[in-house]
Amino acid sequence: MSNTWTKQHIPDQHGRVAIVTGANTGLGLETARMLAARGATVVLAVRDVGKGKQAAAGIAGDTAVQELDLTSLESIRSAAADLRAAYPRIDLLINNAGVMYTPKSTTADGFELQFGTNHLGHFALTGLLLDHLLSVPGSRIVTVSSVGHRIRAAIHFDDLQWERSYSRVGAYGQAKLANLLFTYELQRRLAPLGTTIAVAAHPGVSNTELMRNAPAALRVPITRLAPLLIQKPEMGALPMLRAATDPAVAGGQYYGPGNRGEVRGYPKLVASSAASHDQAVQRRLWAVSEELTGVTFGLDGDTHPMGEP
């Protein structure tokens, strides 16, 4: 595979439907823009429909906007129903939206905000849309993780919602580790079917709104080192785009920036932490996520119909 993969390498996407969560700004917007430029029908799945329509108006190509609040299982189920009705086939689901280093808060369903939004919300959405992906050979589910999956990161099964104590950095690490554990377990379950693959990606350090909640101890040094560390969203989106479109990508792979430390650079195949490959934790997190969201996938041992509790 090429060491310098750019947007020019994105294959023709005409006839393909791509759903991108959090696509009204930052990395999601750039991902949507580049997919639409190559001919895809792109659905911007966003919490604020007004901002989504504003973003879509600035994209050249075939776009639509879908209301989706990943902090609410009710909203996720409603959005999934709308998307299923509108798009009998889905080629790409890019689970991009996320929050980072937020003050202690909970979702509408009582989940810790970072874990609930970044992992559980996307887990539920994926399960509810899965059969419309499985019917499409070559379809992909791309979930966005972070270098943060290595920082103070563990799945705290004894306190998943951080009710006893709260660390915004630790909670983010847990959520981003969960994204990888989910991807690898999903790929294991998808592999026997041979139609859809699950892939992960991370953007390195990009100039987006995601850092707005970072503690000053982290935000200030990063700002000062910005010229050396932070890349533009157009570059930060490339790992997701490569994971979503490169014909050479295989299920269960992880893409990120290629320079040292994976903070910037052109996208390449990268490695994730040993913790992300713990299959016992992958299976346990899957079971807990099903229980918390009420969504099952109908894959490899699931006992319920697709997407139903």
φ, ψ for residue 21 (rounded to 5)?
-80, 150
As given in the structure block, the two tokens for residue 31 are 């991902």
Euclidean distance between CA atoms 67 and 76, whole angstroms:
9
Q: Measured in Å, how far apart are the chain's first and last C-alpha atoms?
A: 41
Euclidean distance between CA atoms 39 and 28, whole angstroms:
17
φ, ψ for residue 308 (rounded to 5)?
-110, 150
As given in the structure block, the two tokens for residue 303 are 């006992």
| H helices present in 60-208, as ranges | 73-86, 113-114, 122-134, 168-190
**What is the DSSP code string of 265-281?**
SSEEE----GGGG-HHH
Question: Which is catalytic among the residues 87, 101, 166, 172?
Answer: 172
Euclidean distance between CA atoms 80 and 86, whole angstroms:
10
Euclidean distance between CA atoms 47 and 70, whole angstroms:
8
As given in the structure block, the two tokens for residue 305 are 């119909």
The answer to whether 266 is a known catalytic residue is no
Place of tokens 């019917």: 135
Instruction: Answer for the pair 203, 264: CB distance below 8 angstroms, yes or no.
Output: no
Instruction: Answer for the pair 230, 264: CB distance below 8 angstroms, yes or no.
Output: yes
Place of tokens 């006992």: 303
User: Which residue numbers are catalytic?
Assistant: 172
